[in-house]
């Protein structure tokens, strides 16, 4: 059976960190729409040029663009046994597209909703730094590099992503509240399997253990929302 996990939550809820940790639990690829879009921007190709300005303002990239990126990625050989989706879907149209794609292939996904307090999210994101070469994320408060401002893995100077600047963060959170958060009700209304987990205070490793146990021990039928 294909193991399909959708990590859901606001920007800064820890989806990317958890997806990376969960790869060790599930042995399936982590698929991040944000990472894919940023890679196109770094390459400077036509798609990257089109989406760069949109992402820098905190707005969402058009649904059809993201849908096509995800479909192409899910068709690759390493995703046939399963995958962890991070940052997708973010709108109702994307959710409908994904559910239709999954249903047509007999794949039953599990949605993991990571819940984090708004003020904690702002603190996390304004303190976040990323290696421009390997993509490793750090936080100057909760997960600093061994040497200030330098990646532990390859020695590159860390940067603040354009979409992690405070004005952009607040725009991203506003977009999430207006478009993405209602998807929780969409998943519930359509009988999709959904588990909610409080991700405010646990360490990433402890949270990963809880999430992994939830996924592995899931029931065969719809999973009730829980915290």
Catalytic annotation, residues: 15, 90, 128, 161, 172
Concatenated DSSP letters of the chain: --EEEEEE--TTSSHHHHHHHHHHHH-S-EEEHHHHHHHHHHHT-HHHHHHHHHHHTTPPPPHHHHHHHHHHHHTSGGGSSEEEEES---SHHHHHHHHHHHHHTT--EEEEEEE--HHHHHHHHHTEEE-TTT--EEETTTB--SBTTB-TTT-PBPB--GGGSHHHHHHHHHHIIIIITTHHHHHHHTT-EEEEEE-SSS-HHHHHHHHHHHHHT--SSPPPP--
Q: Residue 209 corresponds to which tokens in the numbers above?
A: 């253990």
């Amino acid at each position: 059976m294909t193991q399909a996990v959708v990590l859901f939550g606001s920007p800064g809820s820890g989806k990317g960190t958890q997806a990376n940790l969960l790869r060790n639990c599930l042995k399936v690829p982590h698929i991040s729409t944000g990472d894919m879009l940023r890679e196109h921007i770094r390459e400077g190709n036509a798609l990257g040029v089109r989406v760069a300005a949109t992402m820098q303002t905190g707005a969402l990239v058009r649904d059809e663009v993201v849908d096509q990126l995800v479909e192409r990625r899910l068709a690759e050989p390493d995703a046939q046994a399963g995958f962890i989706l991070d940052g997708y879907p973010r709108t109702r149209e994307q959710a409908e597209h994904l559910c239709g794609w999954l249903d047509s292939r007999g794949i039953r996904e599990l949605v993991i909703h990571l819940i984090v307090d708004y003020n904690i999210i702002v603190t996390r994101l304004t303190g976040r730094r990323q290696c421009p070469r390997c993509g490793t994320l750090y936080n100057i408060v909760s997960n600093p590099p061994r040497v200030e401002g330098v990646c532990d893995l390859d020695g590159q100077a860390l940067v603040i992503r354009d979409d992690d600047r405070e004005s952009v963060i607040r725009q991203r959170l506003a977009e999430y509240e207006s478009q993405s958060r209602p998807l929780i009700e969409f998943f519930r209304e359509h009988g999709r399997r959904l588990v909610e987990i409080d991700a405010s205070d646990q360490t990433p490793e402890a949270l990963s253990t809880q999430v992994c146990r939830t996924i592995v021990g899931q029931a065969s039928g719809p999973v009730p929302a829980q915290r």
